Structure 1
Amino acid sequence: MILDTHTHFYDTRRDEHYWPPEEAPFPNVCLPEVYREALGSAPVTGTVIVEASPQLVDNHWILSLCDEDDFLVGFVGNLAHDQENFEAHLRELAAHPKYVGIRRGKESFEHMDQIRLLKELDLELDILADAETFAKIPAAIDELGEIRVVINHIGMHPVGNGLEADWVASMEAVKEYPSVYCKVSAMLELYDGNDISNPAEYLEMLDFLWENFGEDRLVFGTNWPVCSPHGSLETIYTIVNTYFAAKGDTAREKFFYKNAVKAYKLQGLE
């Protein structure tokens, strides 16, 4: 079993379409069948969708896709912090068994009442942000108690030219918090070098993440279709599989499957 914990599905033909913008170099329609075709030989068996749109209607639309397809094992929604009747809407969405969390950015910890609600509803928090935001995670957990947090896209750090001190410090700060995970995703988009498909180019980043998060707190994601202008899903799979297969069968299974089940509390999966 291999779970891709970061895909975006949308249909620009919908009247309510919000993301991606028209100028984005992605297909106009990205639905499960398009993703399955794009996989090629990459042996992905299910995916967790991450919503890029803060519109309430898009959260419900994705859940309708989840109802139709068992390949879609979970959905990280996206509700704007100023959404009218935020609590009522989140409670309604959380009642769906595949609604597993919400995604936030730099404003993640500016609305702690909403983070408390996530904890109450047993939802996780995906964070797409920077070192300054990640550095706030320990204080939030110390205040609220254990909340599940998934740092998106290897903490948004470029790959291939060393590691910045502020970023290193922020990632090391969460090392002792077992409910904080890091998603190994968007590495092609973040790559800064001349040999993008060479697994050796990613060793410095992957070694650092392994040292800090270990075999129990790293999860696999592709960031499809945002990754598509940079390389294939097969390339992404080959890069990470080369690394984690060398760590042994147990570590590989955790990275590709078991850690995702735990981080997102995916129902019906073990």
Structure 2
Amino acid sequence: MTVDSHHHLWDLDVRDLPWIVGAEMDPLRRDFRPADLQAALKDSTVDATVLVQTVSDPDETPEMLVLADSVDRIAAVVGWVDLTARDVREQIGRLQTHPSGRWLKGIRHQVETEPDPEWLIRPDVLNGLAAVEDAGLVYELLVRPHQLPAAIKAVGQFPQLTFVLDHCGKPPVASGELEPWAGLIRALAAFPNVFCKFSGLVTEDAWARQPDPVRLRPYADVVLEAFGPGRLMFGSDWPVCLLAAEYGQVMDVARELAAGLDDRQRAALFDTTARQVYDIEGFRPLLG
């Protein structure tokens, strides 16, 4: 069994996604609906997935919660609230008391688009993170390397809040540089309440032009060493991964990069860590 800890769904007839801009994003400029997800998963071992927000729109999360009620394999939702709002606790409360609110397991904001590199340690944002902690939810860090110092400071203020770093902190794979990203990853991983998604590497590389796992290995090795497989979890980042590779290719690359792990460690990376973090231990897909 496998958990895909990170994927998206969207319908451009419902709302636009402002980050889909430029000719290079053309493969994503269409709808990705539940049927497309099921087709992508058809030949995989994935039996549970985590559906993640795509836009800072309060209407998207309730829609995702409803999808989790009816779409096979979706076992958890990571939604969005305005962390800077005075009523952030009320926003979270409304989601948790939604008829499908049991699927809400985490909150995320696309910090990578914020111009302030210290956005995560603004007082209003820290108040929002405290609300996430009090609600018993996970907080996902979507940051770029220059925002990792603020992420480290924020994590240090919330030792009881579970953080999940998305996409290995978006390392500069295309340039081939390791530092300062690697050192910052090690500093973040020193906090035991931080987990990391083993995802997004192919889209940070020139993978579509010249697929080669060798270029990804130094970055994979850093997170494997820093977090250990017990705090790493596989994520496809589908359909964003389609900018570089198909679903099955992404999974094959992840398995190749993790080939040095033993059976127990691979089980943690591809299955049990995500079930623990997102509280999906007893989940069973609708179709068996």
By the TM > 0.5 criterion, same fold? yes
1:233-255, Cα deviation, whole Å (9 max, x unpaired): 11101011123243111111101
Give structure 2 stretches of 5+ with no counterpart: 113-118
Verify the 8 A CA contact 2:236 2:250 in the aligned structure 1: yes
* SS in structure 2 of the partner of residue 5 of structure 1: strand
Alignment of 1:93-108 (within 5 A): 93-95=95-97, 96-104=101-109, 105=111, 107-108=119-120
Give structure 1 stretches of 5+ with no counterpart: none
**Could you tell me the TM-score, scaled by structure 1's length?**
0.89
Look up the equivalent residue of 2:8 and give its one-letter code.
H
Alignment of 1:226-237 (within 5 A): 226-237=240-251
Look up the equivalent residue of 1:248 and give its one-letter code.
D
Paired-residue identity, %: 22
* SS in structure 1 of the partner of residue 38 of structure 2: helix
Alignment of 1:112-261 (within 5 A): 112-159=126-173, 161-192=175-206, 196-261=210-275
Partner residue, 1:19: 17
Partner residue, 2:115: none
Partner residue, 1:41: 43
Q: Does 1:92 align with 2:104?
A: no
Shift of 1:42: 2.9
Distance 1:74 1:174, change over 3 A: same
Look up the equivalent residue of 2:39 and give its one-letter code.
E
Q: Structure 2: how far apart are the matches of 1:194 and 1:224?
A: 15
RMSD: 2.3
1:174-221, Cα deviation, whole Å (9 max, x unpaired): 232111111111111111468743333321111111111111111111
Q: Kindly indicate which of the two structures has a greater share of residues assigned to helix.
A: 2
Look up the equivalent residue of 2:162 and give its one-letter code.
R
Q: Structure 1: how far apart are the matches of 2:69 and 2:208?
A: 42
Verify the 8 A CA contact 2:7 2:51 in the aligned structure 1: yes
**Could you tell me the TM-score, scaled by structure 2's length?**
0.84
Look up the equivalent residue of 2:105 and give its one-letter code.
V
Verify the 8 A CA contact 1:185 1:223 in the aligned structure 2: yes
Verify the 8 A CA contact 1:50 1:76 in the aligned structure 2: yes
* SS in structure 1 of the partner of residue 230 of structure 2: coil
Distance 1:82 1:139, change over 3 A: closer
The number of aligned residues is 268
Range moving further from structure 2, 170-179 or 137-146: 137-146
Distance 1:221 1:188, change over 3 A: same
